[in-house]
Amino acid sequence: MNIHIKRREMFKSVGKRLVADLEVVSTGDTDTETQGGAGESAFRDWLNKQLPSRFQAVNGVALSANDPPTTQRDCLIFDMSECPVFRQSGGQPDMFPAEGIIGAFEINTGISGATSAKLLHDCTKLSEVGKLCRNRRALLSNLTKLIPVQIPNAMTIPNELIVAQQPFLLPPILYLFAENIRGNLSDIAARIAIHNKTVPVVASVSGLFVLNKGVVLHITPNQGWIHARLPGFPLAYMEAEPWEVLLKLVSIVWNHLWKGPYTIPDLGSYYADQKYFMDIEWPRCVVLDDPEYISQREEGFVTFQG
């Protein structure tokens, strides 16, 4: 059986339980707040089954030594082996140091769909987590401590762009998840881009997964989706079936772990299958044409033409 067919069948099965759980929550005869909490719990339970044991997806508060704690966040992906938990409530960890946070999701469930206003509010909450974690990446003073990363950027300049950054201080991935949305992917993708232009690159929303519509992610047309925003790359969106959305969500999270200091051997390359992207996904992508977006820079990156 072709590897793409195997992958499709596997994630149709893997995602079936989450889809079913969210349908039960959405049709339950309870108030909106209760339904929302149950939907968030179903998503975290599902995500935890996809993560290695050293990581845990939980709701809670993020804080650092130099900043006040955030309010409650729907889902923080925390490296349990890397940092201690600051507090536990009811036997469950609920307060996490920024140094141990590798990702955050804001979750919207319900068949009626999240509004643009709600999603943009969640963008602000995610960016607050990104800003809090920004101290993990020291500002760059010289090139002697840096490892250059070569990033093709033919869309904006004829030469290659070299981005030098400290290799062990990867910013967290910041994602929206929604069971459905009111409106279309193109409109919310444009709104996410507008939001991201108001915050540092490191605090930008990485993308959106809409179970019943598709995905919004950053992209390099020659290499595929990237797990977090980097200078020089645009946003794109793709309509997709629920199983594809869940497959892309897992692949993006694993790709982040693979490329960070959390290296998971072998599986990273499986999930980052370039042929799958070129054959199945690239023909369906719509890339946002926003030169201002891809030209945005910030402190913490040293860029120069190679």
Please write the tens of the pLDDT for every residue from 40-64: 888 998 889 888 888 889 898 888 8
Question: Which of 247, 251, 257 minimizes the C-alpha distance to 272?
Answer: 251
54 SS3 class:
coil
Q: Could you say which DSSP state residue 190 is in?
A: H
- The Cα–Cα gap between 273 and 268 comes to 9
Tokens representing residue 62 in the block = 């993020």
Question: Which of 43, 22, 15 minimizes the C-alpha distance to 241?
Answer: 15
Q: Could you say which DSSP state residue 227 is in?
A: S
- pTM, two decimals, is 0.81
Q: Are 174 and 104 in contact (CB under 8 A)?
A: yes
Tokens representing residue 152 in the block = 């093709």
- The Cα–Cα gap between 149 and 140 comes to 15
The one-letter amino acid code at 274 reads Q
Tokens representing residue 14 in the block = 């893997």
- C-alpha gyration radius of the chain: 19
Paired sense of beta strands 101-108 and 173-178, if any: parallel
**pLDDT at residue 90, rounded to an integer:** 62
Token pair 């499709």: residue: 8
Domain ranges of the chain: 3-305
**pLDDT at residue 240, rounded to an integer:** 92
Tokens representing residue 148 in the block = 């250059």
Low-confidence ranges of the chain (pLDDT < 50): 1, 29, 31, 33-34, 137-168, 266-268, 300-306
Please write the tens of the pLDDT for every residue from 241-299: 888 898 889 888 887 877 665 555 544 455 556 677 788 888 999 999 999 998 887 65
